């Protein structure tokens, strides 16, 4: 599986909504998510001939040249785009590198001398992956983490599919064994009908014991910085209000009765 795209590095601030500030302690990490019930088990997969016809129809609808190609054994390759919408900081290597094309390899163990750090990935980051029909959601997650050299446990993350229904965005978590490219083929190339999103694996309350001590210390440092920035914003806001009120009082005249 290969990945293409680019990522802006650096520290990304939290959303302006002060209610979403302490996202690390919230059970629901996004108030906009609408979960849909689990769908029934997939029906019998189409035959090779049916798949070939679906791929031909898919390629006729593609406008960006990112077509699917089928092999003689019935497998096929194609492209999917994954939007990264992570709200918690991730642990990465100091040697973070994001080449335009990367081949996914088995994740190796971390060197004892390798330095790590934690920061927020951009909320609007998008990665384009070239995968096969045999690639599972679990492999997509691991491939994305390898791209950004994220050292967190892959089980902390989940791949979601986003669908549009009656003008509302619906999200559903994919099973680790599901095949995203097949879902892309069935839905067609229109990303408005189906798109893929990488998010935190929402299993309820945050499992703090799953993080290492250095990770927890890094989170505290980041939260301290965010708290100071938020306090400064509040002070600046009310200082401006106070100044406007004082100017209004100074400019106003009291009319005699």
The whole model's pTM is what? 0.59
Quick one: CA dihedral 36, 32, 153, 105, positive or negative? Answer: positive
Section 54-63 average pLDDT: 93
Q: Per-residue confidence at 78, pLDDT binned at 50, 70, 90?
A: very high
Provide the 10 A C-beta neighbour count for residue 18. 11
Mean pLDDT score of the chain = 75
Please give the backbone phi and psi of residue 134, each rounded to the nearest 5 degrees, phi first.
-90, -10
- The pLDDT value recorded for residue 123 is 76
The mean per-residue pLDDT over the stretch 150-163 comes to: 90
C-alpha Rg value of the chain to the nearest Å: 23
Residue 132 · residue 1 · CB < 8 Å: yes
The tokens describing 82, both together, are 């994954």
Whether 206 has a pLDDT exceeding 70, the answer reads no
Closest C-alpha among 178, 117, 176, 128 to residue 152: 117
Measured CA to CA, the distance from residue 255 to residue 90 in angstroms comes to: 62
What is the C-alpha to C-alpha distance for residues 115 and 133, in angstroms, rounded to an integer? 36
Residue 6 burial by Cβ neighbours in a 10 Å radius (0-12, 13-18, 19+): exposed
255, with CB counted inside 10 A (0-12, 13-18, 19+), is exposed
CA dist., res. 79 & res. 225, Å (int): 39
* 163: β partners: 170, 194
pLDDT digits (tens, 9 = 90+) for 237-251: 999 999 989 888 888
Q: What does the block give as tokens for 206?
A: 């945050």
Q: Which residues contact 51 (CB under 8 A, 6 or more apart)?
A: 45, 70, 74, 76, 185
Instruction: Provide the pLDDT for residue 115.
Output: 61
């Amino acid at each position: 599986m290969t990945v293409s795209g680019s990522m802006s590095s650096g520290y990304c601030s939290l959303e302006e909504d002060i209610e979403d500030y302490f996202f690390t302690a919230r059970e629901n990490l996004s108030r906009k998510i609408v979960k849909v019930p689990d769908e029934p088990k997939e029906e019998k997969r189409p035959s090779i001939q049916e798949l070939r016809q679906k791929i031909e129809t898919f390629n006729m609808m593609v406008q960006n040249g990112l077509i699917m190609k089928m092999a003689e054994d019935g497998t096929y390759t194609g492209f999917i785009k994954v939007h990264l919408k992570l709200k918690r900081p991730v642990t990465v290597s100091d040697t973070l590198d994001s080449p335009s094309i990367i081949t996914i390899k088995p994740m190796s163990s971390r060197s004892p001398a390798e330095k790590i750090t934690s920061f927020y990935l951009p909320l609007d980051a998008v990665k384009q992956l070239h995968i096969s029909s045999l690639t599972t959601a679990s492999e997509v997650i691991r491939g994305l983490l390898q791209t950004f050299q994220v050292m967190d446990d892959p089980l902390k993350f989940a791949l979601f599919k986003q669908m549009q229904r009656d003008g509302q965005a619906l999200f559903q978590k994919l099973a680790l064994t599901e095949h995203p490219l097949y879902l892309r083929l069935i839905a067609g190339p229109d990303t408005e009908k189906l798109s893929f999103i990488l998010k935190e694996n929402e299993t309820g309350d945050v499992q703090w014991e799953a993080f290492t001590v250095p990770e927890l210390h890094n989170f505290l440092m980041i939260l301290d910085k965010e708290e100071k920035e938020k306090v400064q914003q509040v002070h600046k806001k009310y200082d401006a209000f106070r100044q406007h009120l004082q100017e209004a009082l100074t400019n106003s005249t009291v009319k005699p009765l």
